[in-house]
Structure 1
Amino acid sequence: MSHTTPEAQAADLKLVVCDMDGTLLDGRGEIPQGLWPLLETMRHRGIAFTPASGRQYATLESMFGSAATGSGTDDGTSGPESDHDAGTGSTDGMAFIAENGAQLMRNGVLLAASVIDPDYVTATLDRLDRLVAEGQNIGVVLSGTTVARVRRHDDAFLAEVRKYYHQLEVVDDLSGIGNVIKMAVYDFGDASTVVHPRLHEAAQGHSVVLSARHWVDVSNARATKGHALAQLQQALGVTPAQTAVFGDYLNDLDMFDHAQLSFAMANAHPDLLARARFTAPSNLEGGVITTLSHLLVNH
């Protein structure tokens, strides 16, 4: 941890990048109401705010875009209070790091996407089928740039998947689907015990990341949040010294390499707490809102 206060380093802040689940979102999985006035303040000061998530772009855009009218999203996430400026929730000009860095969008335009080799997708699907045959209770999501597809269709699995994928198709066969940018495996047990190790040992140079207790994300090696952040910084002309990052889990770790102001949430994985320069209160305490408020006072 740094002995310098984050407020002292925020004078030239230009970009804030924030993970969603376990970081920004509250205990109900909703965007805290306190974010909306902060976003308005940041826009006025020329500070960009970018969500960085394993969630699908369509889901992220829906969560933030619905705020433009003050309505909730279709997954129950709230927009701003009705007495806030209706433009506060607009996603105009906003960038999104989606699918754990496999997709970078800005102002509705695709800036970068990293497609997984189709042969590796096929081999991984076969490996997952063997895990199912061994008794693992898992399902997989194949993400493209506009839609995600699943084969498993029971209510319990779909209930978990639809939290993160608003554009979702249930298909009979996942083989032969092209332009896959991420494979997300949901494990009803602890993904770190069997599924993650088995996929990781067959990574073949790909990224196999434990993104939450129940989720393992498979993508190209360069398709990480940190790589997407570096691409965004280049597009915006922003340096690491002008960047703040908030995260809580292992898929957020490499973003810390690209930000002078790196914040691990109090509820973060120990590896993030060890790497971050600063600690923010937990997501259940509104840690992102509190910390951003302090940074903006000193900006």
Structure 2
Amino acid sequence: MRLVVADMDGTLLDSGGRIPEGLWPLLDRMRERGVVFVPASGRQHARLARMFERAIDGMPIIADNGSYVVLDDQELHSTTLERDVAVDLVHRVRAAGRRQLVLTVSGKRCAYVECADEAFLAECRKYYSRLEILPDLLDFDDEVLKLALFDPESVTRFAEPLIADLAGSHHAATSGRYWLDIAAKGTNKGAALRRLQDRLAVPPEQTAAFGDYLNDMEMLQAAGRSFAVADAHPQILAVAQCRIPSCGQDVVDAIGRLLARG
């Protein structure tokens, strides 16, 4: 195994949203063996880089659900959305009149919101280290990597119908229970992984991927070995070759076993 890619929330992170301490010595052993570890997440690159600052040198990062791939602060690949799409979605969310439904514009430099609700901001800061609150969300000035709709009650019930007509021209995927992400067509963690495999000259059969939710689907399909945690989405369980009892340390242990097998 030469390349290991892991989703973060619900997979590598424990139930408290923390990186298991057992991962750090494992990353050292992987580096010694020439095995590349890649976090792949809907989270912002800046957030992931902060989380992995102890081991960031030489670590590729797949951020914003595949929209942004970075290695040592150098962009390897990005896909962006037209500003018109973001502006249209801002108007749709406002017209929906649902206070709980909130839009985040995730840009290359920063993420942008116009909601100052503290409960939402606390949730948002889990995923975005660089976050700017704008009086008017239409005033953002950045390249758009993705748009993220949040609804704490039911993102599938309220957000999915709002963007149903975009499904054919863009990529939309639920990212956990409360988030729905919209990106450029063909953008996903799997497409980002395939580009990384090409760049590193690592074939799928020497790649392992770990995930739990629908935004991990293409990533698992791009790997020769695929793993899902036991409480993963049913569609992910149907695709994954192997099941892991739980998130966090169980995932670290599974990676360790892969490394031991060579």
Q: TM-score range by the shorter chain?
A: over 0.9
Instruction: Return the match for 2:123 from 153, 160, 176.
Output: 160
Aligned-partner Cα distance in 2 for 1:277–1:247:
11
Within a 5 Å distance, the mapping from 1:1-299 to structure 2 comes to 13-65=1-53, 89-131=54-96, 133=97, 135=98, 137-177=100-140, 178-283=142-247, 286-299=249-262
Matched letter for residue 192 of structure 1: T
Q: Secondary structure at the match of 1:251?
A: helix
> Does structure 2 retain, via aligned residues, the 8 Å contact 1:96–1:105?
yes
Question: Counterparts of 2:166 and 2:256 in 1: how far apart (Å)?
Answer: 44
Looking at structure 2, the residues matched to 281 and 145 of structure 1 have their Cα atoms a distance apart, in angstroms, of: 35
Q: Does the 8 Å CA contact 1:196/1:209 hold for their aligned counterparts?
A: no
CA contact (8 A) 1:200 1:208 kept: no
Structure 2 unmatched runs, 5+? none
SS of 2:226's equivalent in the other structure is strand
Quote the offset at 1:160 in angstroms.
0.6
Q: Secondary structure at the match of 1:192?
A: helix
Contact 1:102 1:181 in 2 (8 A): yes
Distance in 1, matches of 2:133 and 2:139, equals 15
After TM superposition, give the deviation of residue 146 of structure 1 in Å: 2.0
Report the AA paired with residue 255 of structure 1.
M
The separation in 1 between residues aligned to 2:52 and 2:255, in whole angstroms, is 18
Deviations 1:71-108 (A, max 9, x none): xxxxxxxxxxxxxxxxxx33111100000001000111
Q: TM-score, normalised by structure 1?
A: 0.84
Q: CA RMSD in A?
A: 1.3
Give, in angstroms, the shift of residue 208 of structure 1. Answer: 1.3
Looking at structure 1, the residues matched to 235 and 26 of structure 2 have their Cα atoms a distance apart, in angstroms, of 29
CA deviation map 1:16-63 (0-9, x unaligned):
000000000001100001101110110000000000000000000000
Secondary structure, counterpart of 2:221 in structure 1 = helix
Q: Percent identity?
A: 42
- Structure 1 residue ranges without an equivalent (≥5): 1-12, 66-88
Deviations 1:201-245 (A, max 9, x none): 333510111111100101101221011101111111111011000
Q: Deviations over 1:220-272 (max 9, x none)?
A: 01221011101111111111011000000000000122111010111110001
Specify the structure having the higher radius of gyration (Cα). 1
Letter in 2 for 1:173: D
Deviation at 1:181, TM superposition (A): 0.8
Return the letter of the residue paired with 1:277.
Answer: Q
CA distance in 2, matches of 1:103, 1:19: 15
Of 18-27 and 289-298, deviating more is: 289-298
SS of aligned partner of 1:181: strand
Distance in 2 separating the partners of 1:270 and 1:136: 30
For 1:174 and 1:189, how far apart are their aligned partners in 2? 23
Cα separation, 1, equivalents of 2:32 and 2:129: 31
CA distance in structure 2 between the partners assigned to 1:40 and 1:143 by the alignment: 32
Between the aligned partners of 2:135 and 2:71, the Cα distance in structure 1 is 33
Pairwise CA distance, 1:200: 2.8
- Give the Cα–Cα distance (whole angstroms) in 1 for the partners of residues 197 and 218 of structure 2: 14
Please state how far the C-alpha of 1:112 moved relative to its aligned partner.
Answer: 1.0
Matched to 2:122, the amino acid is A
Stretches of 4+ aligned residues off by more than 2 angstroms: 200-204
The amino acid that maps onto 1:140 is: L
